[in-house]
Amino acid sequence: MKFKLKPIEKKWILYDIGNSAFALLISTIIPIYFNYLAGDAGISEVNYLAYWGYATSAATVIVAMLGPLLGTVSDAAGRKKKIFMIALLAGALGCVFLGFMQSWIWFLLLFVFAKSAYSLSLVIYDSMLTDITSEERMDEVSAQGYAWGYIGSCVPFICSLLLVLFYDKVGISMQTAMGISFFLVAVWWIALTVPLLKSYRQTHSRKPAVHAGQSGAQRLGQIVSELRKDKKVLFFLAAFFFYIDGVYTIIDMATAYGTALGLDTTGLLLALLLTQIVAFPAALLFGRISRKVSASRLILVCISAYFLIALYGIGLHRQYQFWILAVCVGCFQGAVQSMSRSYYAKIIPAEKSGEYFGIYDICGKGASFMGTILVSAVSQITGSVNLGVGALSVMFLAGFFLFLKADKTEKSEEEQENPGVLFQQPGLGQ
């Protein structure tokens, strides 16, 4: 039977297409431009990779502090859309201003701001999944979001790529080409969010709690304490922290990794474009397979594949090897992200989705905190970028066994006593 998307599901997916353009910019053009600025300042390739990793980790720390607090506040009736819009606009404006930076230090600082805002918008966006669809449709809706995000983001990326590669042919400077590229992505991002902002209705909410006086760290500690009562969610988040940090480290640092190895810039960008193209049908395929195979089994398959990908990175030295890496990542990238998102949405209380996804995105799209530091530190200590990437295999191994533990753990007593109630609110499919 053909799976047909409802109007609100399509509009929710449009945001995946919009924000994925910025995500692709982060993993491709932005690191290359930073390398250009750092090179002018006399920074070595090893230190360039390390500084990039530390900046990405700094964005994660910010999201870790603010994500749970904003998620909690957004669970109150009518607040989710407002907070989402603020984070979206902050990220898009940060994207625009990145094109004006010529100092590598200021560029990194603004990058941290823009990436943090982008990640915070995803805390709210992911939590909307419980409002826009039903539990039995989540796996495929989530998969289609990532799939269309990958292929749709190629449109502004190709335009930006042409500008960056042939800026001299059209009589503009590299800085001008970058500025136009960042502006184009920001406009794309905002434009594709408008339909969701017009139609989204928060159907799951709870009474506002008094958390305004708490800092992000205090609220984070309180939420973690509450999670101890739900072992299934707790074990899943522990597993997710390890394996998805590894996934996002590969995504965020792929271009920086290839550049540090001295690989051809044009070849790197085209290889990453191939990753997006491969990820589109792969994510759709996993979405269809999820009708017959549980999301948990599919997640385990993806983690195993990434473990092998990390080991493959140890011996990567040539351009064609990077292309092989790009194809392999594309096959499993969208699947592990989409299946994890829908799996998590099914095991949490919908009226606390903002709060719970605040924790989720600390480990996920808030960036790759532990992974980037691991790659940066191992690269600097050993002097080998390859060993830095290979070290990620440890994270996938830990994530695999923790996920096995989570999947065997029963839901909390509250969830078992009220199965399905959280997804029977009116408003689905509006």
Show the 3-state SS of 111-148: HHHHHHHHHHHHHHHHHCHHHHCCHHHHHHHHHHHHHH
Architecture of domain 8-205+229-411: Up-down Bundle (1.20)
Pseudo-torsion of CA 279, 392, 390, 369, nearest 10°? 90
pTM of the model: 0.77
Contacts for 280 with CB less than 8 Å, ≥ 6 apart: 147, 148, 150, 151, 334
DSSP 419: T
**Amino acid identity of 389?**
V
pLDDT tens for each residue of the chain, 430 residues long: 567 889 999 999 999 999 999 988 887 788 888 888 888 877 877 777 778 878 887 887 888 788 878 877 877 767 888 999 999 999 999 999 998 888 889 999 999 999 999 989 998 998 888 888 888 888 889 989 989 998 999 999 899 989 988 888 889 988 899 999 999 999 999 999 999 999 988 777 666 554 545 544 566 667 677 777 788 998 999 999 899 888 888 876 777 777 777 777 777 778 878 888 999 999 999 988 988 899 899 999 999 999 999 998 888 878 788 888 889 999 998 899 889 989 998 888 877 777 788 788 777 654 456 787 888 888 888 888 788 888 899 999 999 999 999 988 876 555 554 444 444 333 333 3
Between CA 425 and CA 403 the distance in angstroms is: 30
Pseudo-torsion of CA 99, 109, 374, 121, nearest 10°? -80
Nearest to 152 by CA among 182, 117, 189: 189
Instruction: Enter the tokens of residue 289.
Output: 């397979």
Domain ranges of the chain: 8-205+229-411
Alpha carbon of 324 to those of 262, 284, 319, 372: distances in Å? 17, 21, 9, 22
Alpha carbon of 39 to those of 45, 159, 233, 382: distances in Å? 8, 25, 44, 22
